[in-house]
Amino acid sequence: MNLTIIGSGYVGLVTGACLADIGNDVFCLDVDARKIELLNQGVVPIHEPGLQEIIERNRRARRLTFSTDVEAAVAHGDVQFIAVGTPPDEDGSADLQYVLAAARNIGRHMKGFKVVVDKSTVPVGTAALVHDAIASELRKRGESHMFSVVSNPEFLKEGAAVEDFARPDRIVLGCNDDVPGERAREVMKRLYAPFNRNHERTLYMDVHSAEFTKYAANAMLATRISFMNELANLADRVGADIEAVRRGVGSDPRIGYDFLYAGCGYGGSCFPKDVKALMRTAEDFGEPLQILRAVESVNEAQKQVLAQKIVTRFGSDLAGRTFGVWGLAFKPNTDDMREAPSRTLIAELLARGASVKAYDPVATDEAKRVLALDLARAPEQQTRLSFVHDAMEAASGADAVVVATEWKVFKAPDFDALKSHLKMPIVFDGRNLYDPHALQELGIEYHAVGRASATQASRARAEVAATQALA
């Protein structure tokens, strides 16, 4: 099939590359000429495992084209995927200006039947706005070409997006029940047939329900994270180990283990933005979502948890202290710094007078750009932030190491080497990567999230062992 992807950002690139990889002829459009130039040179502007190889393979096979030519893009695709950004507006609602601009361009240039697919995450009712925008442009031209707007939200996890697209757990399609809608449904059924060979993964529903499903899914996952983070903070107070609690709770098949890991808060391009947008939609319809309001509040507070633990240990004035920060991206296997908890941590440490040596296996360049903007009004603080080339360099001469992202490279470090690099053997773990008992036995002071009882038990065992040794 001939497909057009409007928007060559994260969702657009993954969608276009993966659809080309199963044999479709895909035209990727973007208004950013520099981005298109880089893509045509084989440079992928985002980090996503496996994506570079798929793009290069399909460029060579001439199944994947990158261009800024709007008219050519509309002419190419029988199916037009809108995969542009929907950033949060000042009131938290999704900004639809790029979605509607794409729709108007389709209406200006289409010359026959088109299936227009909303792939961007958009609030309920957006398909109708897209339809009206296209119809308005057709009327201006005196044309009446048939088309249908379909909602086909993405469910891609950053860091595993290629795998998620290739082996989806579900494909949500919202189609109208009129004649164009039925025709669009058959087109989309044919397009996604290769993903349904083992068993049917497509869930057909009305357009409003499909639009709602994406927000509901992300809101549910964000809720699980914030709930566990609140429990972790309480566990620290009452002397429980949140990891033991997680295993006990997750073993219930009605609950499961996914998204029950306590830590220093969620970030990225989806959860924060989508929670805000769904809350705004609810307010517009007079049905405020109290639980989601709490989810957002808990997450914002949780991003402060590591800095609070550091202040409790070292005092509020951190002048003269140095901290090595391991991990900058909001999650592993991506260079995405949007809403990353590391940004809150670093800003707080610098504001209290500390110096920071930061390391991330992938996100350093993006972190430099983003943190420069965060600290634009504090040039003196910028001088106390440096970026290094490996984890031990970040630890060298530091008062403590702080783990902010759970990259694999941080999961089993050489702790003896780490102790030799640090001024004091102290680790603040915002992702609960390590066994408190093992670190205690190595002589490392360990501060995690919701693991007070585990740390206390380690210290007690160490004291008993020391007493027995003296005896």
Tally of structural domains, the chain: 2
Distance CA 82, CA 29 (A): 10
For residue 228, tell me if it sits in a domain: no
Are 309 and 198 part of one and the same domain? Answer: no
Q: Across the chain, what does the average pLDDT equal?
A: 94
Tens of pLDDT, residue by residue over 377-396, are 999 999 999 999 999 999 99
What pLDDT sits at residue 197?
Answer: 87
Is the per-residue pLDDT at 86 higher than 60?
yes
Q: Which residue has the higher pLDDT, 88 or 142?
A: 142
Ligand-binding annotation for 126, yes or no, is: no
Residues labelled as active-site residues: 270
Which among 354, 421, 419, 353 has a CA at the least distance from the CA of 390?
Answer: 421
* Residue 239 is assigned to a structural domain of this protein: no
Say whether both 187 and 317 belong to one domain.
Answer: no
359 has binding-site annotation: no
Confidence band (pLDDT; 50, 70, 90) for 81?
very high
Same domain? For 199 and 307 the reply is no
Residue 193: which CATH number?
3.40.50.720
Assess if residue 353 is contained within a domain. yes
Residue 469 has pLDDT above 70, yes or no: no
Percentage above 70 pLDDT, the chain: 97
Q: Which of 158, 181, 205 is the last residue of a domain?
A: 205
Instruction: Give the pLDDT mean for 305-322.
Output: 97
Does residue 415 carry a pLDDT above 60? yes
Residues 199, 325: one domain? Answer: no
* Weakest-pLDDT range from 37-41, 81-85, 415-419, 467-471: 467-471
- The answer to whether 276 is annotated as binding is no
pLDDT tens per residue, range 29-71: 999 999 999 999 999 999 999 999 999 999 999 999 999 999 9
Q: Check pLDDT > 90 for residue 467.
A: no
157: annotated binding-site residue? yes
What is the pLDDT confidence band of residue 122, given thresholds at 50, 70 and 90?
A: very high
Q: Is residue 425 part of a domain?
A: yes
pLDDT reading at 468 higher than 90? no
* Same structural domain, 313 and 201: no
Domain boundary among 157, 172, 205: 205
Q: Which of 187, 205, 223 is the last residue of a domain?
A: 205
At 174-217, the pLDDT tens digits run 999 999 999 999 999 999 999 998 889 999 999 999 999 999 99
* Residue 455, domain member (yes or no): yes
In this structure, is residue 291 part of a structural domain?
Answer: no
Does residue 245 belong to any structural domain of this protein? no
* 330 in a labelled binding site: no
What pLDDT does 471 receive?
Answer: 54
Supply the range of the domain harboring residue 65.
2-205
Residue 58 placed within a domain = yes
* pLDDT (0 to 100) of residue 142: 96
Sheet holding 355-359, edge to edge: 385-387, 355-359, 322-326, 400-403, 426-429, 445-447
pLDDT at 28 over 90: yes
d(Cα 446, Cα 418) in Å, to the nearest integer? 13
Can you give the pLDDT at residue 465?
Answer: 54
